[in-house]
Structure 1
Amino acid sequence: MFCQRRDSTNVAKTAMVNCELNRAIPALGSFIAVAAATAVLFSVSSAAPQQAGSETAIHLITVEPGIYHSVSGQDDLRLIRRYFQGASWELPISSETWQQLRPLGISKIRLINVESGSAVQFEAGKKGPQFNFSSLLPGLQDCRNYGLRPHIIVGQGPQIALVIQEDGSSYGVSDWSRYEEYAYAFLKFVMVEQGFSQADFEVANEPDINGASWLTPEKLPMGAQAMYEAYFQLYRAWATAADQLIREHPELKLRIGGPSITPHTFSFGKFNWAEHFAKDVAAQKLRLDFFSYHFYGNNAALTGLPTFGRSPSFAVQIDTIRNSLSTAGLGNVPIYLTEWGPSYVTTAIPEGIINGNQVGAAWTARFFMEMAASKIDEGMALTLRDHFDPRRLENGWAWPSFLLSDGVTPKGLYNVALMFSKLPGQRVRASDAEGSIGVLASADKSKLGVLAFNQDWDYSNSKERAITERMEIRISGLPFPAARVRVVRYLVDATHSNAYHFYQQGMPIDQANVGLTTVEEISLPVIAGVVTLPRVDLAPSSVTLWEISAERKS
């Protein structure tokens, strides 16, 4: 299951239990100051471990701040930040929640489950349909309050007034011209009447695994060609409506995209939705402003790690999508991961709990680098905050999100994203690392940052495959003059910057240090233009960030 689906009753229950949690868990104040935002860059690294006699093997990493590096062909760090600057919205954002989200640079929210099935209404004495879009207002109000770009899922369910009634069942669309009127009115309401001159619209949610099953009279096998054909008609209606609105209001920055699919048809059957969607959009000359895709860590392996499951690796999947777009003449269409996370399992079992602990946090660090290497254009985490678990009367840890359900407490995943937001300048060269280790470095004229992760989780057996690795970092040629440098080291692992650890220890979250933890502050000499950082042991499923700057004279 790749997404959250619930009815209005469940929304109300979720809101109620979140209120209960807010009473039970006092809100944390802002816990961290973030360096001024600069355009940041990164690099995946891997250097073969060096043997030092009988000592543990050591990864020797050389960082060269004077040499710019990019795997994406653009500013890698600026690109990576686009991957965590949005997520799905489900509850109103309080001012306290917003204070926690601001350091990540959140700039957009994905409004899912906000489309009402009774938006189209026919009233006696009135010509044509009337429209009621009040269900959109709470999400749009948060976008207005915090300057966020709305990204709205459309076509998620039927319009009751327009369904086909047949043999006691209802499904699909009885009048496509009327449905296009509805789609046009929806887009116009958001962009013209509500004044959002920039907005994104994503047609349906995971139709390849029956996320749009309302379109057909019977339930079809996942990935079915008949389901695809029904979905494509839906996409055409929304793309046509978008074109109409843009013709009338060319000043609007409207983006519409699809097919919002999963890796399912990379693994099962011979009908690949990505390939057919690209071909059909091009053949019918439909508007496509982004190709949307969903990926989770338990779908398939990342580059350099053992394969598992039926699906090809993430990199192969993206290459296939990009080749399909290019073959169809759509090579410039951006690829947008509108859902990502360490695991699509959102229940409190081992496969899902990794979304709440250091395992998912370390996977996220690797995945950010992988997305940049695959030239992904944008991304969104599944949710801004966890759900509250009404059965256990506690936080639901197994959601790929930034904050706990109290809306203020950061998770390990949040702290890893914060590490990336703290990196200075642009990505610079770092020697390669191998296996479970990855290294990235960046610099500007006053600061240097080095980030390293140790990540190799066995998804097939839900156990750690990485071992503790020792690393030494040598920096050759600082980007600023200094006789000595100040080094600050931050850590996310099983016991640091990890709210789940404190939960396991039975410690009240409001009494725990769950923000990004500083574990070391030292002064080091610069010798012949080189700084050598002390050797550190990188624990399995850990992420480390070093910040290096010139030591101020007292």
Structure 2
Amino acid sequence: MKKMARSLCLGALLTMMNLSFIAHSEVAPQGAGKTVQVTILKDREYNGKYDSLSHFKKLAGAVGWEFDPNAETTAELKRFGVKTIRCINVDGVTGIFEPDGTFRITGGTERLDQNLNTCKELGAVPHIIFGQSVPGELQATAKDVEERVSVLGQQEGQVVYFNGDWQKLRAYWRALYKYILLDQGFLNARFEIGNEPDIGGVFARRLTPEKTPAGSAALYGLYYETYTNVVKAAEQFEKEYPGLRVVIGGPALAWAFTQKYGDFKWLDRFLKDAAKDKLRVDFIGVHYYGNVSSLNGEYPMNFPSFVKMLKAAKSVRDATFPGIPFQITEWGASYHTQNDPCGYVNATNIASAWSAAFLKLMAEQEIDEAIFLVTTDLQLANTSGLAANGWGWPSLFVNPQVFGQPWPKTPAHILDMAARLSGERVTLTSANKAIDGVASLDRNKLTIMLWNYAAEIPETSPPENLGKDLRVELDFDQLISRPGGRMAADKVSTQMVSENLSNSWTIYQKTANVDKGSRLQTVEEKSLSGSGNKYSLLLPKCSVAFLTIDLKPLETK
């Protein structure tokens, strides 16, 4: 992930936040407004590939491995049902080129092994970010970089410059394929090439004298050259090991940037070029963050809405690689990661409510898989030289080395809730577009994930127009009026993440620490006897609730 614009954040998010923490209940605000009617019923079959409950859970079941995860974070990921781990910055192994032209790995696999070991513990698929690094022997010399790059006014930054020996670099990649697929036994691994090349992100690029600004045709040409050679290396590897197939995808774009800037739309050009050259593309990988645009045109932004961009991209996909899956291989509420008001949104309840809404939208838009950015926050050094937490990251947990353990951030509760939906999906309809959710029925238990989200997340300023607190009345009488005997709602248990509940960021603002209150809190447990199969609750703005409702046969005289 890389910023697409310099932060212009002014003001302070802290003034927007109510810092009081309520342990077990939400206080009904003044002017909560008219009650919103929500109906749960079974009026359609949710058994397609994308509308099923299992696919919704799949979208919530992938995350990037980064920044000091440990045994506790792995245990939580297992509880959340995570089945894909995005492994980034792992392909920089060391070794030697043998006289026969092969590359023999001799070291540098520690980070890759850590990622793969987590995949083993979870039974997860490794999603390898590939083609980022080159061995030292193939790196352009410092003198060459200085002569070619500095005169153009560019900065080297994280760019990996390559000396142009493609034969040796393909041998290096074949050795990595063998190590991951055969030596480590991950025949199901997939490889995504580079990381946000459209905005100057990291991929092994050939050193050239021409200027290659973000979005330029020159930069695209370098990326396409790298992608082509990664595919050639895979084809050579497959000839050496008949029966194996390397799964390769890309172009790993920041995506929105070249919708408006640069020489052309990179995704369109990449798919057309790859189809013309009969180049392997097993999946399309792009990135999306909530501060880039609205989800479906709800408010004006600099870039097109997620749905509009996706619709246009699918039309090109259908004309070039029909049927290959779309994956959102990085996502989160905001691409800002710094500790300032723009980045803090990733730690707030706004991030959790946006994440819930985005997961459902991705299912509706037939996204095949989605990978939440990262597991834990980056550890920073504060002004006193002590460890500090990088709250701005779109992550599931705070850094365990800062707070002693990986306390959950608000987005973690969304993965937790999705994992606990059980049975078969049933219909949820709402009279207010801010209220939405996913419901499921499992024998005599109804589980509901319900959210109130109507916020706006600008690209370069703190969130605004956060919506309203709403009282919701759920009616599930139609659902549980079963043939052969009616059912009645018996008991309900409600958990919630909001500004004042299950919110490690709010706790930190009050106490400068994080505690068990950051875990998902129960706000109510009650009997629904005599309720008429209805249940009312307050959903504050940017909140998400998880309801478990026990059902029982209705006694008849």
Q: Which TM class, normalised by the smaller chain length?
A: 0.7 to 0.9
Could you tell me which of 399, 409, 412 is aligned with 2:410? 412
Question: What is residue 389 of structure 1 aligned with on the other side?
Answer: 380
Superposed, 1:450-469 pairs within 5 Å as: 450-460=448-458, 461-465=461-465, 466-469=467-470
Q: One-letter code of the match for 2:221?
A: E
Question: What is residue 538 of structure 2 aligned with on the other side?
Answer: 537
Could you tell me which of 488, 495, 505 is aligned with 2:493? 488
**Is 1:341 aligned to 2:332, yes or no?**
yes
* Contact 1:100 1:408 survives alignment (8 Å): no
> Offset of 1:315 from its aligned partner?
0.7
1:458 partner SS: coil
> Offset of 1:479 from its aligned partner?
7.2
Change (3 A) 1:404 1:551: farther
> Offset of 1:73 from its aligned partner?
5.4
> Offset of 1:260 from its aligned partner?
0.1
Question: What is residue 43 of structure 1 aligned with on the other side?
Answer: none
Q: Which runs of 5+ in 2 are unaligned?
A: 5-30, 147-160
Q: One-letter code of the match for 2:174?
A: Y
Q: Over residues 61-103 of structure 1, what are the superposed CA-to-partner deviations in whole Å (9 max), with x where a residue is unaligned?
A: 1111364347x75343222222232222235643222222211
> Offset of 1:270 from its aligned partner?
4.7
2:174 partner SS: helix
* Contact 1:216 1:230 survives alignment (8 Å): no
> Offset of 1:307 from its aligned partner?
2.3
* Contact 1:439 1:450 survives alignment (8 Å): yes
**Is 1:378 aligned to 2:383, yes or no?**
no
Structure 2-normalised TM-score?
Answer: 0.82
**Is 1:470 aligned to 2:471, yes or no?**
yes
* Contact 2:434 2:453 survives alignment (8 Å): yes
Q: Distance in 1 between matches of 2:197 and 2:540?
A: 40
> Offset of 1:414 from its aligned partner?
0.4
2:491 partner SS: strand
* Contact 1:467 1:540 survives alignment (8 Å): yes
Could you tell me which of 209, 230, 247 is aligned with 1:255? 247
Superposed, 1:117-266 pairs within 5 Å as: 119=94, 121-122=96-97, 126-132=99-105, 134-135=108-109, 136-163=112-139, 168-169=144-145, 171-212=161-202, 214-217=205-208, 219-249=211-241, 251-252=243-244, 254-262=246-254, 263-266=256-259
> Offset of 1:150 from its aligned partner?
1.6
Question: What is residue 422 of structure 1 aligned with on the other side?
Answer: 420
Change (3 A) 1:449 1:215: same
Q: One-letter code of the match for 1:538?
A: L
Change (3 A) 1:542 1:487: same
* Contact 1:304 1:435 survives alignment (8 Å): no
Question: What is residue 514 of structure 1 aligned with on the other side?
Answer: 518
How large is the Cα RMSD of the aligned pairs?
Answer: 2.7
* Contact 2:373 2:395 survives alignment (8 Å): yes
Q: One-letter code of the match for 1:370?
A: L
Q: One-letter code of the match for 1:381?
A: F
Q: Distance in 2 between matches of 1:141 and 1:90?
A: 13
Change (3 A) 1:371 1:551: same
- Report percent identity of matched pairs: 31
Change (3 A) 1:225 1:443: same
Q: Distance in 1 between matches of 2:356 and 2:533?
A: 25
Could you tell me which of 297, 309, 315 is aligned with 2:307? 315
Q: One-letter code of the match for 2:85?
A: I
Q: Distance in 2 between matches of 1:505 and 1:415?
A: 21
* Contact 2:495 2:523 survives alignment (8 Å): yes
Question: What is residue 77 of structure 1 aligned with on the other side?
Answer: 53
Could you tell me which of 63, 82, 87 is aligned with 2:40? 63
Structure 1-normalised TM-score?
Answer: 0.83
> Offset of 1:104 from its aligned partner?
0.9
What is the number of equivalent residue pairs in this alignment? 494
Change (3 A) 1:463 1:280: closer
Change (3 A) 1:230 1:270: closer
Q: Distance in 2 between matches of 1:542 and 1:55?
A: 14
Question: Does 249-258 or 375-384 show the bigger shift?
Answer: 249-258
**Is 1:293 aligned to 2:294, yes or no?**
no
> Offset of 1:514 from its aligned partner?
1.7
* Contact 1:453 1:542 survives alignment (8 Å): yes
* Contact 1:152 1:202 survives alignment (8 Å): yes
Question: What is residue 442 of structure 1 aligned with on the other side?
Answer: 440
Q: One-letter code of the match for 2:71?
A: S
2:90 partner SS: coil
1:431 partner SS: strand
* Contact 2:59 2:363 survives alignment (8 Å): no
Question: What is residue 21 of structure 1 aligned with on the other side?
Answer: none
Q: One-letter code of the match for 1:524?
A: L
1:352 partner SS: helix
Question: What is residue 20 of structure 2 aligned with on the other side?
Answer: none
Change (3 A) 1:78 1:173: farther
> Offset of 1:497 from its aligned partner?
1.2
* Contact 1:240 1:286 survives alignment (8 Å): no
**Is 1:365 aligned to 2:340, yes or no?**
no
